[in-house]
């Protein structure tokens, strides 16, 4: 597209029509019709003869023979080069900024375009400009290091922002949310024009809030009905600056509204008894102040940041008391009847108005909002990334940190704090336990929680109702309060599962409750062992059937004194010696006798001797001494247990046995090739007599027969 005779500095498409607007250093703004370009590249369709003739007549060539895009309007009015130009998103308006330091507004129709007005205020070249996407405002930036906001209807300056050293060159608006970006010499600055948090206050079942149009409305939580406009606040502060806060007095049905415009101001207004329709506030009391809040049914406090002074006023707006707050106070909040919370950059002070002194102080940095619980016993101090819960006497209960900015908070009837970030609604208990309740599609400001319903206001100050599942935090609250009935009811009636709740219960020392949520056998076994539920542990060990698990179960069962489970685990692990000792400890002679027979059948001489000791079977021990030729023990056992008339025969048997063995050695019997310490016994495999002697001696020593060994 040709037509400008100097550098083209900017070009923009129209948001809906086939138009392009361009700005040039030739001091002109041109509007181009590109409908021919669209038709040229559109899909072919069947056309009537009349359509074809109409199209051919439209495609008149410009002076260079171009028929795709033609100049529709040429706007001249700037005295120097034009740096930027932009269409209005919905109206037939154009705004331009030039080196003549002017921001010009243009209007166009189907046949012509003309200049409407000029915004004057920049001291250097105006570099960029645009229309506000949702309000009747114009924004412009310039080389005078300022961002300026203009009223589209009055063409007057509304607001300006100045940087110290950097010139601004370009500005852009987010198409959906209230964000703007301005490029300067050293980077890009992203900013908001206005506060998006709606001013609101609730009392019992009613929410009072101020809309974007500065209308005061109420919302009934029980009926879920929004009232008509109660009154308008058009005269409060600047028309483009929304009110900052709203305080409600139920005794007088009055509201106290503050605005940050012109250094800060407040209005005390009585609400009409019926919301019959929109009406202007007539009986109002006004004054200067940064913050204002009711402190009693007939008193309110006004804080002036510039003079660092707090005035206590009555309902006729007369000052009854003046307070000098701590140096650096930035804001005030209700602190309980007759008290104020004074906010400084590094601390919060609880101030008694009657005594005129601070009664408590807590070091908390950057507090922006204070939210009181429904019973007035606790308060949540909200800063940019932290939530601190305190008592009404300003004693810290718990604190938590969020990486994402915290937007709002409200208290559940059960004493759980719910707070919102940009993307989530979360909760925190008084002990600091916290979690996520649900995700958010858009940022909201919480005002009330009732059962499974969250009432909130969105950024356009419209009431919204969100459904939540409070099961998780209700369960944790019941756990903290040891309300086991409610816990069991939640377990039965909800699907509260997941590793987070299981690990939470383990961490808090409630594995027996975590056991109710788990299906995995390994995890169930671990939890059962931890909480001492041996029945579940046995069941899971049978399913998994691993030696390591049986060993752990044995240790736990021994600690609990459950010998039946110990017996079962010893059998599973085939620990026969421990099983024999268990039968000895429990006095089960029948099973001990059976263990002796099993030892004999297995050919385990040590286990056999051990069982004979446990059973007190002297004859069996004598027989074993005789078998392995331990004559000293054999003789001792005979002296203690065998009658005198039989002892000589037995001793003779022992001597004969020894002489026979020597004879076999002298004759070169079968033992010679096996070494001097091996003997073959009837019914047993070849074993070492020396080994058995040492083993039996050690066992006898354990039983207290030391003189024999010596």
Q: How confident is the model over 312-356, as pLDDT tens digits?
A: 999 999 999 999 999 899 999 999 888 999 999 999 999 999 988
The first and second tokens of residue 519, run together, are 């299906």
From 51-60, 142-151, 407-416, the region with the lowest mean pLDDT? 51-60
pLDDT at 457: 93
Give domain status of residue 523, yes or no.
yes
Cα(233)–Cα(67) distance, integer angstroms: 54
Residue 105 clears pLDDT 90, i.e. is over it = yes
In this predicted model, what pLDDT tens digit does every residue of 659-698 receive, in sequence order?
Answer: 444 434 343 444 333 333 333 333 333 334 444 445 545 5
pLDDT at 663: 39
pLDDT at 67: 59
Residue 256 clears pLDDT 90, i.e. is over it = yes
Banded pLDDT at 595 (limits 50, 70, 90): confident
Give the dihedral of Cα atoms 329, 331, 333, 337; nearest 10 deg: 40
On whether both 528 and 611 belong to a single domain, the answer is: no
Helix 471-480 crosses helix 484-493 at what angle (to 10 degrees)? 150
pLDDT at 438: 93
Residue 71 clears pLDDT 70, i.e. is over it = yes
pLDDT top residue among 180 and 472: 180
Beta bridge partners of 245: 258
pLDDT at 41: 65
- Closest by Cα among 339, 381, 341 to 364: 381
State in Å, rounded, how far the first CA of the chain is from the last one. Answer: 120
For 117-120, the CB contacts below 8 A with 24+ separation are 117/155, 118/155, 119/148, 119/150, 119/155, 119/156, 119/157
On whether both 446 and 520 belong to a single domain, the answer is: no
Length of the chain: 710
The 3-state secondary structure of 482-523, one letter per residue = CCHHHHHHHHHHCCCCCHHHHHHHHHCCCHHHHHHHCCCHHH
On whether both 587 and 547 belong to a single domain, the answer is: no
On whether both 107 and 138 belong to a single domain, the answer is: yes
On whether both 77 and 181 belong to a single domain, the answer is: yes
Identify which of 38-42, 98-102, 663-667 has the greatest average pLDDT: 98-102
Give domain status of residue 318, yes or no.
no
Residue 500 clears pLDDT 90, i.e. is over it = no
On whether both 597 and 694 belong to a single domain, the answer is: yes
The first and second tokens of residue 356, run together, are 């005129």
Mean pLDDT of 558-564: 85
Check if the beta carbon of residue 599 is closer than 8 Å to that of residue 617. Answer: no
Give domain status of residue 293, yes or no.
no
Beta bridge partners of 408: 420
CATH code at 126? 2.130.10.10
Cα(389)–Cα(380) distance, integer angstroms: 5
Domain boundary (191, 206, 241) is at 191
pLDDT top residue among 646 and 171: 171
The first and second tokens of residue 440, run together, are 């958010």
In the chain, how many domains are there? 4
Cα(210)–Cα(198) distance, integer angstroms: 6
On whether both 553 and 606 belong to a single domain, the answer is: no
Domain boundary (144, 160, 191) is at 191
What pTM was computed for the model? 0.67
Helix 499-507 crosses helix 471-480 at what angle (to 10 degrees)? 10
On whether both 23 and 169 belong to a single domain, the answer is: yes
* Alpha-carbon distances, residue 684 vs 407, 603, 621, 661, 662 (angstroms): 85, 6, 16, 18, 21
Banded pLDDT at 709 (limits 50, 70, 90): very low
Cα(80)–Cα(99) distance, integer angstroms: 5
Beta bridge partners of 360: 350
pLDDT at 629: 64
Check if the beta carbon of residue 192 is closer than 8 Å to that of residue 180. Answer: yes
pLDDT at 66: 58
On whether both 178 and 90 belong to a single domain, the answer is: yes
Check if the beta carbon of residue 138 is closer than 8 Å to that of residue 105. Answer: yes
pLDDT at 686: 35
E strands, 539-660, in order: none
Check if the beta carbon of residue 425 is closer than 8 Å to that of residue 456. Answer: no
Check if the beta carbon of residue 291 is closer than 8 Å to that of residue 300. Answer: no
Residue 427 clears pLDDT 50, i.e. is over it = yes
Mean pLDDT score of the chain: 81
pLDDT at 680: 36
On whether both 461 and 592 belong to a single domain, the answer is: no
- Closest by Cα among 407, 457, 448 to 206: 448
Containing structural domain, residue 438: 371-468
pLDDT at 666: 40
Cα(621)–Cα(505) distance, integer angstroms: 56
pLDDT at 96: 96
The first and second tokens of residue 168, run together, are 């601004």
Q: Radius of gyration (Cα) for the chain, nearest Å? A: 46
Coil, strand or helix: which one is 649?
A: helix
Give domain status of residue 432, yes or no.
yes
CATH code at 447? 2.40.128
DSSP structural state of residue 681: -
Pairing of strands 113-120, 102-108: antiparallel
Check if the beta carbon of residue 205 is closer than 8 Å to that of residue 220. Answer: yes
On whether both 564 and 586 belong to a single domain, the answer is: no
CB atoms within 10 A of CB 66: 14
Give domain status of residue 677, yes or no.
yes
Residue 379 clears pLDDT 50, i.e. is over it = yes
Mean pLDDT of 246-251: 92
Banded pLDDT at 507 (limits 50, 70, 90): low
Banded pLDDT at 636 (limits 50, 70, 90): low
pLDDT at 281: 59
Mean pLDDT of 424-443: 91
pLDDT at 664: 41
Coil, strand or helix: which one is 210?
A: strand
pLDDT at 688: 41
Cα(76)–Cα(99) distance, integer angstroms: 14
From 59-63, 89-93, 152-156, 411-415, the region with the lowest mean pLDDT? 59-63
Give domain status of residue 329, yes or no.
no
Cα(390)–Cα(371) distance, integer angstroms: 10
Residue 60 clears pLDDT 60, i.e. is over it = no
Domain boundary (550, 571, 592) is at 571
Residue 160 clears pLDDT 50, i.e. is over it = yes
Residue 274 clears pLDDT 80, i.e. is over it = no
Banded pLDDT at 599 (limits 50, 70, 90): confident
Identify which of 35-49, 269-283, 591-605 has the greatest average pLDDT: 591-605
Cα(14)–Cα(34) distance, integer angstroms: 10
Banded pLDDT at 396 (limits 50, 70, 90): very high
* Alpha-carbon distances, residue 419 vs 126, 387, 430 (angstroms): 43, 9, 13
Give domain status of residue 631, yes or no.
yes
On whether both 79 and 182 belong to a single domain, the answer is: yes
pLDDT at 646: 46
Give domain status of residue 447, yes or no.
yes
- Cβ burial 533-542 (10 Å sphere, 16+ → b, else e): bbebbbebbe
Cα(321)–Cα(252) distance, integer angstroms: 21
Mean pLDDT of 86-101: 95
Mean pLDDT of 574-602: 85
């Amino acid at each position: 597209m040709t037509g400008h005779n100097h550098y083209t500095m900017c070009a923009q498409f129209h948001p809906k029509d086939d138009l392009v607007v361009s700005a040039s250093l030739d001091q002109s703004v041109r509007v181009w019709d590109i409908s021919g370009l669209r038709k040229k590249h559109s899909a072919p369709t069947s056309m009537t003869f009349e359509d074809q003739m109409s199209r051919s007549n439209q495609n008149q060539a410009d002076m260079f023979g171009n028929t795709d895009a033609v100049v529709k309007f040429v706007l001249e009015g700037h005295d120097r080069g034009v740096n930027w130009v932009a269409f209005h998103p919905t109206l037939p308006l154009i705004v331009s900024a030039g080196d003549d330091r002017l921001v010009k507004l243009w209007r166009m129709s189907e046949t012509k375009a003309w200049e409407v007005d000029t915004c004057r205020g920049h001291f250097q070249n105006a570099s960029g400009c645009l229309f506000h996407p949702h309000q009747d405002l114009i924004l412009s930036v310039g080389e005078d290091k300022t961002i300026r906001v203009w009223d589209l209807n009055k063409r007057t300056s509304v607001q300006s922002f100045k940087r110290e050293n950097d010139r601004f060159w370009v500005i852009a608006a987010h198409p959906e949310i209230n964000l703007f970006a301005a490029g300067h010499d050293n980077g890009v600055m992203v900013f908001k024009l206005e506060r998006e948090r709606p001013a609101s206050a609730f009392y019992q079942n009613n929410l009072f809030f101020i809309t974007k149009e500065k209308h005061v409305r109420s919302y009934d939580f029980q009926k879920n009905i929004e009232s008509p406009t109660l009154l308008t606040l058009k005269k409060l502060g600047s028309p483009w600056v929304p009110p900052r806060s709203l305080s409600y007095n139920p005794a007088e049905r009055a509201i106290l509204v503050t605005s940050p415009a012109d250094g800060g101001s407040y209005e005390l207004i009585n609400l009409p008894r019926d919301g019959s329709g929109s009406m202007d506030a007539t009986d109002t009391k006004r004054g200067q102040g940064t913050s204002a809040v009711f402190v009693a049914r007939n008193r309110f406090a006004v804080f002036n940041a510039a003079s660092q002074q707090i005035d206590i006023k009555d309902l006729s707006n007369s000052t009854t008391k003046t307070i000098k707050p701590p140096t650096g106070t930035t804001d005030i909040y209700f602190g309980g009847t007759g008290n104020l919370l004074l906010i400084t950059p590094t601390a919060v002070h609880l101030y008694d108005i009657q005594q005129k002194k601070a009664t408590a102080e807590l070091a908390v940095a950057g507090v922006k909002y204070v939210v009181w619980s429904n019973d007035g016993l606790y308060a949540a101090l909200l800063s940019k990334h932290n939530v601190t819960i305190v008592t009404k006497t300003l004693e810290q209960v718990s604190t938590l940190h969020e990486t994402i900015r915290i937007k709002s908070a409200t208290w559940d009837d059960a004493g759980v704090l719910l707070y919102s970030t940009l993307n989530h609604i979360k909760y925190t208990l008084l002990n600091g336990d916290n979690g996520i309740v649900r995700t958010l599609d858009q940022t909201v400001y919480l005002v009330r929680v009732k059962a499974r319903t969250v009432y909130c206001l969105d950024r356009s100050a419209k009431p919204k109702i969100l459904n939540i599942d409070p099961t998780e935090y209700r369960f944790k609250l019941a756990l903290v309060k040891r309300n086991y009935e409610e816990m069991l009811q939640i377990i039965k009636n909800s699907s509260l599962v997941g590793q987070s709740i299981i690990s939470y219960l383990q961490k808090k020392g409630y594995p027996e409750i975590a056991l109710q949520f788990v299906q995995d056998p390994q995890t169930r076994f671990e939890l059962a062992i931890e909480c001492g539920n041996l029945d579940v542990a046995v069941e899971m060990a049978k399913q998994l059937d691993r030696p390591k698990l049986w060993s752990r179960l044995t240790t736990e069962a021994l600690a609990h004194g459950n010998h039946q489970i110990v017996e079962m685990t010893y059998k599973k692990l085939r620990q026969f010696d421990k099983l024999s000792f268990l039968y000895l400890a429990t006095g089960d002679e029948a099973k001990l006798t059976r263990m002796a027979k099993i030892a004999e059948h297995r050919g385990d001489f040590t286990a056999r001797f051990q069982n004979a000791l446990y059973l007190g079977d002297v004859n069996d021990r004598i027989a074993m001494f005789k078998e392995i030729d331990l004559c000293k023990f054999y003789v001792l056992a005979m002296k203690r247990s065998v009658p005198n008339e039989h002892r000589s025969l037995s001793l003779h048997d022992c001597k004969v046995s020894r002489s026979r063995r020597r004879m076999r050695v002298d004759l070169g019997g079968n033992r010679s090739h096996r070494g001097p310490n091996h003997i073959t016994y009837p019914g047993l495999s070849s074993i070492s007599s020396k080994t058995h002697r040492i083993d039996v001696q050690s066992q006898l020593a354990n039983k207290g027969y030391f003189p024999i060994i010596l």
